[in-house]
Amino acid sequence: MLIQRTAREALLRLASQFPVVGLTGPRQSGKSTLAKMTFPEKKYFTFDDKSLRELAASNPKDFLLSFPDGAIIDEAQKVPEIFDAVKYYVDNRNTAPGTFILTGSSQFKLKENMTDSLAGRVAFLKLLPLSIAELNTTAEQFETPYDMIVKGFYPPLHDTQKHFFKEDWFESYIDTYLDYDVKDLINASNLSLFRRFIQICATYSGQMVSMDSISKNLGISAPTVKKWLSILESSYIIHFLEPDTNNLGKAVVKTPKLYFVDTGLLCHLLRIETIADLNLNLNKGAIVETFAVSELLKTRLNKAKKANLTYFRDNKGFEVDIIADWKHTFAVEIKSSSDAEKKLSANVRKYIDLRSDVQCDGTVLYLGDFTCRINNVNYVSWKDWGNFFENV
């Protein structure tokens, strides 16, 4: 089952301008499939093929000459020599935009090599797992948002031609992630500790992260915690919202809030297997908040735009879940309620009153079935979270 990805339009836009486009994102988010669907006429090859890998590494410049119309190069990071060869190819030929599309599972090596070798010649598109809007184009039915939250959004789990049990799939995913993405970045003896670290981070999703608390819990140094958080962020397992900076003079909180990118993986790490487990879990509100933040993140990244998402908290504890600084400012509250009650918007109304310096639109993301506007505040149903912000 092939799902039409929203990011296709942004990929075409970038490929019409830059000779090289890098597709990054977490493992199994659908990068190779998107590239092949978008450019079906391009030659596709992967350096997972050992013989092809050895051939390319032995003479990368001549290897690329075999593809005068360009190519989709998957797992490009497995042949580091290819990046300088691509640079040479682009600089010494009349290279058309979109000639090479480079993808790979090891985000660290791919991004590092492309940034070092192809600066000024490459544009990046980050592809996250499926969005609500993308899943709505399939025949799969979701009666409640909780079905989506627990299952998660990785494409293989929604492929009708495959029959994965999500618990087994996520265990395999974590193992692969540790073996192929993490092992070369930390001491191999710390892999089991890093697995525990991921599980502890899951308990912080939707909260300000305490490096000291994690450090004490695992018995590792604060610099190590910071490094490991960076690894999770760089590989699109987690995302940080930084505190909002504005002219109110009250946002004294400097600690970022941590969010997992996929709620299915988050629920797996928290040992939430069913909707009943979710409804009884003390972290339910934070998980719903993670769900909403992830959707807004996809809305932006699918257009190859910066996220520009922060949160606001002042020195008295007054907080707004998300400040989206887009065409104009959105003050967003996320609620696990299914009723569009006025009290849900109290914080965004207060924030709007404080921000007389900018145009600010109050928005409540909630779990009801209807999107409406009441007293100048948008109440956006979970079904419309992606579509509502489509044009901003």
Q: Residues 323-353: pLDDT tens digits?
A: 999 888 899 999 999 888 888 999 999 999 8
Question: Looking at the domain 145-240+257-284, which fold is it?
Answer: Arc Repressor Mutant, subunit A (1.10.10)
Residue 233 CA to residue 26 CA, distance in Å, equals 10
Cα dihedral 147, 153, 155, 159 in deg (nearest 10) = 0
pLDDT bucket at 371, cuts 50 / 70 / 90 = very high
Residue type, 178: L
- pLDDT value at 103 more than 80: yes
pTM: 0.93
pLDDT at 331: 93
Residue 334 near residue 241 (C-beta atoms within 8 A): no
pLDDT at 307: 94
pLDDT at 215: 95
Residues forming CATH 3.40.50.300 domain(s) in the chain: 8-126
Q: What is the pLDDT of residues 159-180, one digit of tens each?
A: 988 889 999 999 999 999 999 8
pLDDT at 341: 83
Distances (CA, A) of 193 to 178, 228, 274: 11, 11, 27
Q: Which CATH number fits domain 8-126: 3.30.390.30, 3.40.50.300, 1.25.50.10, 3.20.20.70?
A: 3.40.50.300
Identity of the highest mean pLDDT range in 133-142, 222-231, 327-336:
222-231
pLDDT higher for 44 or 138?
44
Mean pLDDT, residues 9-32 = 95
- pLDDT value at 259 more than 60: yes
- pLDDT value at 299 more than 80: yes
Contacts of 219 (CB under 8 A, 6+ apart): none
- pLDDT value at 1 more than 80: no
In the predicted model, what is the mean pLDDT of the chain? 91
Residues forming CATH 1.10.10 domain(s) in the chain: 145-240+257-284
Residue 163 DSSP label:
-
Residue 358 CA to residue 191 CA, distance in Å, equals 47
Residue 255 CA to residue 242 CA, distance in Å, equals 7
Judged by DSSP in three states, 120 sits in coil
CB atoms under 10 Å from CB of 250, counted, come to: 14
- pLDDT value at 309 more than 90: yes
- pLDDT value at 217 more than 70: yes
- pLDDT value at 250 more than 70: no
Mean pLDDT, residues 30-46 = 95
Mean pLDDT, residues 188-198 = 94
pLDDT at 98: 95
Helices then strands (H, E): number in the chain?
A: 17, 14
